[in-house]
Each structure stands twice: as structure tokens, then as C-alpha cells.
Amino acid sequence: MEVGTAPPTPLIADLCAQKSWDITPDTKQLDLSVVKTAAGASVLTVPTDGGAVRGFRVDQRGDLFDRDIAPIREDRNYTGVSASTANGRLIVASHVDDKIALDIVRDDLGERHDLGDVSGTLITEAPMASSRGAQVSLVGSESGLIGHAFTGATWQAGSPTDVTKASIVSMSATPYNDDVMFAWSTSAKTCHVSRFASGQESQVDFGCDDVRIASHDAHHRGMMVYVEDGVLYRSDLFVGVHSALYDNEVINKIQLRESASSPRIVFDGERFWISYLEVHGNVVVGFVDGQGKFHSRALATHAEVPEAYDLAVFGEGVWVVGIGDASFEASRVCAR
């Protein structure tokens, strides 16, 4: 910095745009998943007390394509939904009891191709990701964590891969270069981070319930957020050779907030963004700066149940999507 030059003004987390999507929610008690697509984003929902999986689309600006909400799955009383893209296809996982139905869904949400059911009570928020030419879905339960790989043009299911036999209480996954990076927490209060194809695994001796993970591929880094005994933490992840100095890819444990729940995390190409619910159910969102400081702000978005909001990157930036009285509400946040 030149003599006499003022230091740069620190960036803050700010509300940069708001949208109200004129589609009436089935209920405020929805499981909600937002996934980036080539056209913008798809929003998938299902009542947490059981019902049909349905969805609608928005464009790159966050505007509705149309006012219709499309049925995805109506054959069972589903209670959870998650979605991601893998190999250029939209994948939707619909949950009920100990079954998870996997579908390739057409981009306009018009048709689906049934990949079949897998057994489990938990699936990651990104239900499918590419790993060395295969498309991998990670499913957990009290009996362990299993990887299901699909290959070829027809997405042929291969033999399941046992990752661990430990009882799983939460799990998360994200694409990482040409692999899948994932984290899980066990009932024995241990937290693990691994990559599916490489098999590299790190363990730390604390629980990471409600874990969510995101990656910065170019810098071989990641970050995860999680809850332990009602307290929200984050941990930096150094991948591969970058973890050699620490003898573990999970290099720290940093407290963010007491009495917090339902964390989310995304990487927008420049910085990691984190959101969570404070004690009254209102959303707080912010970013981690280059010095590791968390800059956050509260939003008007309120979640009736922990699953009823999501944090996603699409179109023009980072969005928090939630449920209003008679519509879906979206807030675009930015650092400025």
C-alpha cells in the first residue's frame, strides 16, 4: 500500500436482490432443495409429513419460467428430496422410510427416467456426482455408508461399495475435480472426510452432525460446516499433498455460533458462503474472508422446519430460497 493511501474498506454480506415466486407452497413444512442447471435453477419440494415430490424452474436472473409446479414423484408418500446434476443430467432423490428413489429428470421437469430404489435412510444433498467416469450416489443408515455407482450411456448400476459399517447420523457430498468429496458423522461421535475414487480418508474425534461440505477445486481446498451439541462450527479442509503439514485433511475447528442449526455451505468461485438458522428459525447468511473471518447478516427468511430453506449458487450469484405465506421467496446475497 502506498504512503497516504487509505486501507481498503472491508466487504460485508449484503442483500442485493429479492424475488417472490408466485407459486403457492403445499405447506410451510417442506423439504426444499435448489439445484443449479444450465438454464438457471430447479427448486424441488416435498412435505416433510409426506406427499408428492414437485418442482419448478427459474432462469439465470431468478425469474420464473412459468407459474406451474410440476409433479416429479406421486407414487408414494415421500418425506424428503435432494437434487444435483451429474454428467450433465438432473438427478432427483426422493426419500421415504428406508427407501430412496433415484431418477434422471428432464431439464424442463417434464419426464423422468427411473434408476431404481436404493436402501438407506440418509442421502447426501448432492445425491449424485461424477467420479472417474462413474456417477456415484452415497447412501447412509445405522448399518453404514454405501456408494452406488452408475456407468455407461444407460447408467448401468454396478455392485455397491461399502465405505464404512459405522452407524451414520449425517452425511454430505460435493463434486471435487474428477471425484466426489464427502463427509459423514457417526453415532460414536467421530467425523470423517473422504474422496470416493482415491479412498483417502481423514478422521477427527468429534461429531459433525448436520454436516455440509463444499470445495474449492483449483486450490485443492474445502470447507465443512456442522453442529456439535447445538453449537455451529466450521473446519477448513486441505486436500492431498496440501494436508501434509497437518497429517489430516481436517485442519481446524472454528466456532461460529451457539444455538444454531441447519447449516448450509456453497463456494461461489471466489469465497465460501455459509448459512444457518438461529434459535428463532430465521436465516443468517455470510461469507468467510481471506483471513478466515465470518461476515454475516440476518435475513427476513424464516423456516418453519429445518429443511424448509436452501442456499445455492446459480445465475447471478448466491441465493437463499425459503417459503413465504403464499409464495416462495428468494434473496440474492453478495459481498460488497
Residue 250, domain CATH: 2.130.10.10
114 found inside a domain:
no
pLDDT digits (tens, 9 = 90+) for 84-125: 999 999 999 999 999 999 999 999 999 999 999 999 999 999
154 found inside a domain:
yes
pLDDT digits (tens, 9 = 90+) for 133-158: 999 999 999 999 999 999 999 999 99
Query: Could you give the number of structural domains in the chain?
Result: 1
List the end-to-end C-alpha distance of the chain, in Å, as a whole number: 20
How high is the pLDDT of residue 67? 84
Across the beta sheet with 99-105, what order do the strands follow? Answer: 80-86, 89-96, 99-105, 112-119
47 found inside a domain:
no
201 found inside a domain:
yes
Three-state DSSP class for residue 11: coil
Mean pLDDT of 18-39: 95
pLDDT at position 39 over 70:
yes
61 found inside a domain:
no
d(CA 323, CA 304): 9
Three-state DSSP class for residue 219: helix
180 found inside a domain:
yes
pLDDT digits (tens, 9 = 90+) for 276-331: 999 999 999 999 999 999 999 999 889 988 899 999 999 989 999 999 989 999 99
pLDDT digits (tens, 9 = 90+) for 195-249: 999 888 999 999 999 999 999 998 999 999 999 999 999 999 998 765 566 678 9
pLDDT at position 2 over 60:
no
d(CA 291, CA 335): 15
Domain that holds residue 24: 13-28+123-335
